[in-house]
Amino acid sequence: MRKLMVLLAAAVAVVLAGCVSAPVTSPRPSPGVTGSSGSPSPSLAAGECDYIADDNAAKPVELPPMTGVPHTGTAEVTLDTEAGSLVITLDREAVPCTVNSFVSLTEQGFYDQTECHRMADTGIFILQCGDPTGTGTGGPGYSFADEGGPDMSYPAGTVAMANSGPDTNGSQFFFLVRDTPFPPDYTVFGHLDEESLAVLVALVQRGHDGSYDDGSGRPNPPIVIDKATLTQESDETPSSSPTADSSGR
């Protein structure tokens, strides 16, 4: 069985002891396996990415382009939900291979009609999505290296990759509903605007079923990405991410 995609490093589990546990053997999506901050292989030139196929895709897709990858400017992807749209500004300059993958999956319809499978609202404040199987174990049939670095942070409105260890990024990602003190182990690739953050907060305020052992659960009622669309490309350098207080407002 494929490793479950996870969000929370062991160090954070210690800090948040009593709030969110970190079972590493849970049969359900849960935190517990540490990720690793890093960067693409130094042998890759600008405009090149490496995606390693594993022939275990949750939904048939082609590998993203590995050459001629844009590495400046931004892209914008809009996720439509029943409560409104989540508009994500993606930073190609900071994490080109991550954005390239997300855009490729978007354009291939990978995220359409997918249910976000996990929500946590104690200790950590996230909504995790990106698995068409809705189980937390599904991916795109390939993996790729971590990007970013030690300065990554996770305020409300951040969008970052979930992983099951170093360099295991795939299709799963998570939204930060409130500021959360993660270590820089999860590649930050985008941010929501203020209006989209308000939509996200409204979605998660409906609650979850508490079905996972760590106190998190499946959103209840379900949160579904009806359609993901690449809505804009720009050569401009991204502006600073929107700020929000720790309440997610």
The predicted-structure confidence for 148-204, as pLDDT tens digits, reads as follows: 999 999 999 999 999 999 999 999 999 999 999 999 999 999 999 999 999 999 999
**Residue 249, CA distances (Å) to 80, 149, 173 in order:** 20, 27, 21
pLDDT at 249: 34
pLDDT at 5: 57
Pick the CATH number of 10-37+49-59+72-234 from 2.40.100.10, 3.90.1170.50, 3.40.50.2000, 3.40.50.150: 2.40.100.10
In this prediction, residues 232-237 reach a mean pLDDT of 72
Confidence of residue 68 (pLDDT cuts 50, 70, 90): very high
**pLDDT 10s digits, 193-222:** 999 999 999 999 999 999 999 899 999 999
For residue 114, the cross-strand partners are 225
Q: How far apart are alpha carbons 14 and 138 in whole angstroms?
A: 28
Is pLDDT of 40 > 80? no
Is pLDDT of 28 > 50? no
Residues in the chain: 249
Percent of the chain whose pLDDT exceeds 90 = 71
Helix (H, G, I), strand (E, B) or coil at 116: strand
DSSP string covering 134-175: SSS----SEEB-----TT----TTEEEE-BSSTT-B-S-EEE
**pLDDT 10s digits, 70-105:** 999 999 999 999 999 999 999 999 999 999 999 999
Q: How far apart are alpha carbons 48 and 31 in whole angstroms?
A: 31
What pTM was estimated for this model as a whole? Answer: 0.82
Q: How far apart are alpha carbons 183 and 180 in whole angstroms?
A: 9
- Count of CA atoms in the C-beta half-sphere (13 A) of 174: 32
Tokens 């099951």: give the residue. 164
For residue 233, the cross-strand partners are 75
What residue ranges in 12-57 does DSSP mark as E strands? Answer: 52-53
